[in-house]
Structure 1
């Protein structure tokens, strides 16, 4: 239910990213988290700068925590990372307690896959981020480019994936994602067996000149390599 919530929830911080003003790249607007409970339910969290200064050292991506004292509200109209009509705001009053003994079946991540052949219908679709799965077929070197709407150059790496029907798509990883992506290890492992990857938190883009569809992987994007998934 929306409103002030004093209940305690036990959740994993599956994804954790910071969102900065596009016109002032050092100005933090909010931090975002995807939380998952033991049953696999997920919800989007936002933390505004004042609260984030206190909470950012208390919660790490991948950790499991007991949270209490937070605000529940209706989800944002745009850029939802998970399918949930509600979301959470953490405040300076929120309590965070790390769970040391985590149940072995506690989910690590959540996703809602879109088939590659359906991606054209999601060009510039803003309600949800897009999640895809495929086999890695190529990985580019890192390049330096200036993305649309940015005031400075940014790193970029392109990963191409292919699904079971042989449909393929490029995933452009921007910023620190370009350098954090384990390209060398994937290429090495790919010599002996196919490397399956799930990308979550991407946006579908279409190049005006070529009409090519690609995925943009910015701050919300995460990848899961050879996941334990059906």
Structure 2
């Protein structure tokens, strides 16, 4: 069911594959969606007629085809009962991990292939829309570009394929994943959706090439997250840092921004103040990073992993004031982004905090982090506090300012401004 300014309606999308493996997306609206929703089943073969073809909208297409099909209430769909049911071969169009940046927050789904570097335990996430608890598992994969990315497996994929990957993680399995959304968490991140397909150790040329590289070179190589150090280059994240550029006043002058859903923007600003007496971090499980509590006797209890551990790690949850020519605002930051601002992990800053001497190395470290320019990817959302809605600004990605790239960006903006006059 879809709702927009014209009212409510139904839409139903399917992906069709013929015997040659060619795919096309078919879309049905309202009466057609209701007519064919229960009739079309995964793996069955159908004769389809009286549909229409049109050039595919690249923003919404989910398969590699220049055309898409539309079925209306007069279209005919007949099951080919004489044909055996089959699971069509999955065709992939892989995007190298270091090329994911331009796809951040885009509508087009992408495919990736990589060697599994780590697998988290299953986590239980509460869905905001209906309060349901759904399973999630994060895996980190790498490819020949020597970049890594975190892929979040949701629902059944987290408990089935995810468990298989956890059990075989010491063998560094290869995964090929079709139809992933690219988000901007930690700069670049991937998430499965209902139609995503995960193949473990597929017998494909790409998998064979990746395995040869990893066994001969990759497993001894240093890997970097594709989301770290995002610059203006279109190869590694221009979409997340140089699109939707605004001043801080865009947030402060629009207190209702993000009311319906989170709004994402990019800003260039200076960290102007970090409160030294705030709660800077929390005690986290070393396995899943969830908050832990002191266990009875000794150690720390993790509710997510359901186990005690002798130690824990500290992870940042700090707020920082940032400033630009239009004003200032408070931004909430989490561990990875805060580490880039402070310049050290939370455990190290905690050690400085415990040192009592005249120089006060803790406050000196915070002072050194101020008046440094950064590029921020910021989300604006509304949350309720004491019965009152308030705007919360959260850092979703951070990168140092590349002044050459920034100059090119400003020149482009000047050119656009002149052209519009």
Fold match, TM over 0.5? yes
Per the TM alignment, residue 74 of structure 1 is displaced from its structure 2 partner at its CA by 2.4
1:132 matches 2:107? no
Per the TM alignment, residue 87 of structure 1 is displaced from its structure 2 partner at its CA by 0.4
Structure 1, gaps ≥5 residues long:
1-19
After superposition, the Cα gap between the structure-2 partners of 1:166 and 1:108, relative to the gap in structure 1 and judged at 3 Å, is same
After superposition, the Cα gap between the structure-2 partners of 1:171 and 1:88, relative to the gap in structure 1 and judged at 3 Å, is same
Judging by fraction of residues, say which structure has more strand: 1
SS of residue in 1 equivalent to 2:176? strand
1:83 matches 2:53? no
Per the TM alignment, residue 99 of structure 1 is displaced from its structure 2 partner at its CA by 5.6
For the residues of structure 1 that align with 2:17 and 2:72, how far apart are their CA atoms?
19
The equivalent residue for 1:212 is: 187
Contact 2:45 / 2:85 at 8 angstroms: preserved in 1?
no
Structure 2, gaps ≥5 residues long:
206-421
Per the TM alignment, residue 76 of structure 1 is displaced from its structure 2 partner at its CA by 2.4
After superposition, the Cα gap between the structure-2 partners of 1:103 and 1:144, relative to the gap in structure 1 and judged at 3 Å, is closer
The equivalent residue for 1:184 is: 163
- CA distances 1:32-74 after superposition (whole Å, capped 9, x unpaired): 2222222232211112242233323332223333322212122
TM-score scaled by length of structure 2? 0.41
Q: CA RMSD in A?
A: 3.1
Give 1:59-208 correspondences, 5 Å limit.
59-92=40-73, 93-98=75-80, 100-101=82-83, 107-126=88-107, 128-140=108-120, 141-146=122-127, 150=129, 152=131, 155=134, 156-174=136-154, 176-177=155-156, 179=158, 181-191=160-170, 193-207=171-185
Contact 1:44 / 1:80 at 8 angstroms: preserved in 2?
yes
TM-score scaled by length of structure 1? 0.71
The equivalent residue for 2:326 is: none
Runs of 4+ in 1 over 6 A off after TM superposition: none
Give 1:51-66 correspondences, 5 Å limit.
51-66=32-47
For the residues of structure 2 that align with 1:62 and 1:194, how far apart are their CA atoms?
31
Moved more, 46-55 or 110-119: 46-55
For the residues of structure 2 that align with 1:180 and 1:52, how far apart are their CA atoms?
31
After superposition, the Cα gap between the structure-2 partners of 1:132 and 1:180, relative to the gap in structure 1 and judged at 3 Å, is same
Per the TM alignment, residue 139 of structure 1 is displaced from its structure 2 partner at its CA by 2.8
SS of residue in 2 equivalent to 1:125? coil
Greater Rg, structure 1 or structure 2?
2
